[in-house]
């Protein structure tokens, strides 16, 4: 694959989606043709799977079912959208990818990082991003943004603070595990500062 693949990672309400909109606008202005996408979702079938996963009424969902649905949604998104763009030499910036499953399902749901890694290897053939930006902010501070009404609640937002802390610690662990690929930005800073830090990292790869 000739293109450039960048992913944005972080806990719920870490500010990555807001930053990604600002990044897209700036890169457009600078004349880069960038394809933005998100997981779970990004293409029709994957968005349909997303609706099932995050539906607050699906309280009985088994953890492994959840992990497999994320992987299924990811596969469809990858083969239908990401891979063709990268094969053409394009630039893809994706809001979440395999790392989200490693920490939410592997650590948060306690299914184990290795098992979730293997499942996702089936889904995307072991494809790794060229750069991953981790939006670093503690869950307690981040989740206050939901209670401020900035965003609609989904099924995972309803998890306990302990779950979100496990996810956060999972992210810190994978930052240590993949230091050459994952770079932290300080997501406790202002929107403009977070955007600028992430933008500089992305521009260094273009």
Binding site for ligand TMP (CB under 6 A): 12, 39-40, 54, 70, 96, 100-101, 104-105, 154, 156
Widest distance between CA atoms in the chain: 47
Question: At its nearest, how many Å lie between ligand TMP and the CB of residue 30?
Answer: 26
Name the 3-class secondary structure at 133.
Answer: strand
Question: At its nearest, how many Å lie between ligand TMP and the CB of residue 82?
Answer: 13
Nearest Cα neighbor of 132 from 159, 170, 93 is: 93
d(CA 13, CA 157): 9
Measured at the CA of 151, the angle between CA 147 and CA 154, to 5 degrees, comes to 90
Q: Which is nearer to ligand TMP, 29 or 60 (CB)?
A: 60
Q: Which is nearer to ligand TMP, 37 or 105 (CB)?
A: 105
Question: At its nearest, how many Å lie between ligand TMP and the CB of residue 142?
Answer: 11
Q: Which is nearer to ligand TMP, 32 or 181 (CB)?
A: 181
Name the 3-class secondary structure at 110.
Answer: coil
d(CA 8, CA 160): 23
Question: At its nearest, how many Å lie between ligand TMP and the CB of residue 76?
Answer: 13
Q: Which is nearer to ligand TMP, 30 or 169 (CB)?
A: 169
């Amino acid at each position: 694959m000739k293109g450039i693949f960048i992913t944005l990672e972080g806990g719920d309400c870490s500010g990555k989606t807001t930053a990604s909109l600002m990044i897209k606008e700036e890169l457009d202005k600078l004349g880069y043709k960038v394809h933005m996408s998100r997981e779970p979702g990004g293409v029709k079938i994957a968005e349909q799977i997303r609706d099932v996963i995050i539906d607050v009424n699906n309280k009985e969902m088994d953890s492994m079912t959840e992990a497999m649905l994320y992987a299924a949604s990811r596969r469809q998104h990858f083969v239908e959208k990401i891979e063709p763009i990268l094969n053409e030499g394009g630039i893809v910036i994706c809001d979440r990818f395999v790392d989200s499953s490693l920490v939410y399902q592997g650590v948060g749901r306690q299914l184990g990082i290795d098992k979730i890694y293997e499942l996702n290897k089936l889904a995307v053939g072991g494809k790794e991003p060229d750069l991953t930006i981790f939006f670093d902010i503690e869950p307690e501070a981040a989740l206050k943004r939901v209670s401020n009404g900035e965003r609609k609640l989904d099924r995972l937002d309803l998890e306990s603070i302990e779950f979100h802390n496990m996810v956060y610690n999972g992210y810190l662990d994978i930052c240590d595990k993949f230091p050459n690929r994952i770079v932290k930005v300080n997501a406790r800073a202002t929107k403009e500062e977070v955007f600028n830090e992430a933008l500089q990292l992305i521009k260094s790869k273009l």
